[in-house]
Amino acid sequence: MSLDITLWLFISSGMFLGWSLGANNAVGLIGTAVSSRMVRFRTAAVVAGIFTIAGSVISGAGTTNTLTALGGVNALAGSFTVALAVAATITWMTKARLPVSTSQAVVGAIIGWNLFTGSPTDLSSLSKILSSWVVSPIIAAIFGFMIFRVLKRTVLTWKIHMLELDNYTRIGLIVVGAMASYSLGANNIANVMGMFVPASPFSDLSVAGLFKISGVHQLFFLGGLAIAVGIFTYGHKVMETVGRDLFKISPITGFAVVLAETIVLTLFTSQTLEGLLLGWGLPSIPLVPLSATQSFIGAVIGVGLAKDPQSIDFRVFGKISIGWVAAPLTAGILAFILLFFVQNVFEQKVIHPVPYVISPSVLQRLQDEGVETSGLHGLINRRFDNPKVFKNEILKQDTFSSQHVFDIFHYAAVDSFRVDSTLVQTLDTLWFSHAEIASVAQHHGKTFSHKLDLENVVFSRSPVWASTGDPLADKILQQKKSAVEHLLRVGPR
């Protein structure tokens, strides 16, 4: 697809969303430094913008995978509409000076798309995201409480001249602001561009033959740039509600708050940390797009409790909490309404139809996973091009849980793969072993119309692809399988 004006029109809603996210979350990055007059707004905004872009491009992939699993918006017009619904919701609440959760608005809008198109929602991904909304502010509050207590017993008891302490604090606020900005970009770029990834319009770009920039990373750069512009142009508008009303934040307490927020965002974003935990045999923290605002508010409350519980105005907290509830509901309803108009008035495709066929191998996989399939035998080898029709037919046959409906959709989706040994030989030998490459290449010329058929023939029958029982090794193995599937896929998906 050429990068024409229509394409940029579709991408513009993601840029608008990035701008509104930056404006809304600037308070959690540089609000304290600016409102305390330790750092000028322009300086703080430039630093935050640069590090936000860096985090988006370098570390944005992990949380994006979770969000796209929730609902794969696979048409640009659909991505445009979903992003527009979120951006409009966030901008409206930003104008009302409410620091709202962008993550919640995005999830609400994606569920709105799922409902409109008849696509099932992945409850596993949804539960991860919902649990993070509850856990992240609590963790941020704990870290905020602990960090301030440590500061109170160390730095604040040292006999440091006031001017020198102010200088150290200024440097600290800039450093933690940069760290928080990097973490925000890495974690929240999924909210800005995640819905565009399945329908990414950009091709890989070669730079002087030295390295390639993938289409996804180009999207992440544009999204990160939009967030940076939002911080710079409108970020100061939201700072008053949190920085002055909820809790009177001093430079020292602001340092503790932003550091606690940064730690929480990093915990739920870092693939390196996930690898370390798996390597040590510990349970990993899910990589999900958090609400940076929730983490910031949680940290503010934690620091407030450590310093002076009476100073927290919980009435303001209640007002902010209303925005957290209203955001996903508003975005979901608005997305549903806008999708109707975009599809029926402007005659744009908001979803590229994916055919569904319940083959015998699909039925067997469902049985292996404990799904009662007796009611599905009448649908074997019937092709459905409309997800709503397919869903209705499934539910006519038997009563299935929402998760089972999602599993049926997942396995029955028709895909197209062809094993080409020439392509297989291009796999990176620094990552893939020669045995892994050879095991795939030996199936040269074979074609598959379901992903699970490819898995059964190419992976399940070869010992080099067998699960090891080591969580980290198995995760890497799954990443390799995904790379092979992407390489062998014929046409877009």
The fraction of the chain above a pLDDT of 70, given in percent, is 95
> Residues 383-410: what's their mean pLDDT?
92
Note the pLDDT of residue 297. 87
> Residues 261-278: what's their mean pLDDT?
90
pLDDT in tens, 464-479: 999 988 888 898 999 8
For residue 342, name the pLDDT band (cuts at 50, 70, 90): very high
% helix / strand / coil in the chain, to the nearest 5? 70, 5, 25
For residue 201, name the pLDDT band (cuts at 50, 70, 90): confident
Per-position b or e across 285-296, b if 16+ CB within 10 A of its CB: bbbbbbbbbbbb
Note the pLDDT of residue 240. 55
Q: Higher pLDDT residue, 197 or 146?
A: 146
**Are the beta carbons of 388 and 118 closer than 8 angstroms?**
yes
Query: Residue 43 contacts by C-beta under 8 Å, 6 or more apart in sequence?
Result: none
End-to-end CA distance of the chain: 15
**Are the beta carbons of 23 and 92 closer than 8 angstroms?**
no
Per-position b or e across 176-188, b if 16+ CB within 10 A of its CB: bbbbbbbbbbbbb
Query: 417: which strand partners?
Result: 448, 489
For residue 214, name the pLDDT band (cuts at 50, 70, 90): confident
For residue 338, name the pLDDT band (cuts at 50, 70, 90): very high
* Residue 404, token pair as written in the block: 């089972």
The lowest-confidence range among 153-162, 295-304, 327-336, 369-378 is 153-162
Note the pLDDT of residue 99. 63
* Residue 118, token pair as written in the block: 């008849």
Per-position b or e across 440-465, b if 16+ CB within 10 A of its CB: bbebeeeebebbbbbbeebbeebeeb
The lowest-confidence range among 154-158, 312-316, 347-351, 431-435 is 312-316
Place of tokens 């002087």: 208
**Are the beta carbons of 356 and 414 closer than 8 angstroms?**
yes
Note the pLDDT of residue 283. 80
Note the pLDDT of residue 160. 85
User: Of 348, 336, 376, which Cα lies nearest the Cα of 360?
Assistant: 376
Instruction: Provide the sign of the torsion angle of the four alpha carbons 453, 456, 457, 459, taken in this order.
Output: positive
User: Of 156, 166, 178, 310, which Cα lies nearest the Cα of 248?
Assistant: 310
pLDDT at residue 306 is higher than 90: yes
> Residues 444-473: what's their mean pLDDT?
93
Longest dimension (CA), the chain: 81
pLDDT in tens, 150-193: 998 988 788 788 889 889 999 999 999 999 999 999 999 988 98
Note the pLDDT of residue 1. 41
Q: Report the alpha-carbon distance of residue 70 to residue 88 in Å, rounded.
A: 21
E-strand stretches of 304-457: 356-357, 383-384, 417-418, 447-448
Note the pLDDT of residue 493. 59
The fraction of the chain above a pLDDT of 90, given in percent, is 52
User: Of 68, 38, 373, 366, which Cα lies nearest the Cα of 216?
Assistant: 68
For residue 2, name the pLDDT band (cuts at 50, 70, 90): very low
pLDDT in tens, 86-103: 989 988 887 776 667 888
Q: Higher pLDDT residue, 332 or 155?
A: 332
* Residue 124, token pair as written in the block: 């596993």
**How far is C-alpha 88 from the geometric centre of its chain's CA atoms?**
19
Query: Residue 315 contacts by C-beta under 8 Å, 6 or more apart in sequence?
Result: none
pLDDT in tens, 12-60: 999 999 998 898 888 888 887 887 788 998 999 999 999 999 999 998 8
pLDDT in tens, 227-267: 999 999 988 766 655 545 555 678 889 899 999 999 999 99
Q: Report the alpha-carbon distance of residue 17 to residue 87 in Å, rounded.
A: 4
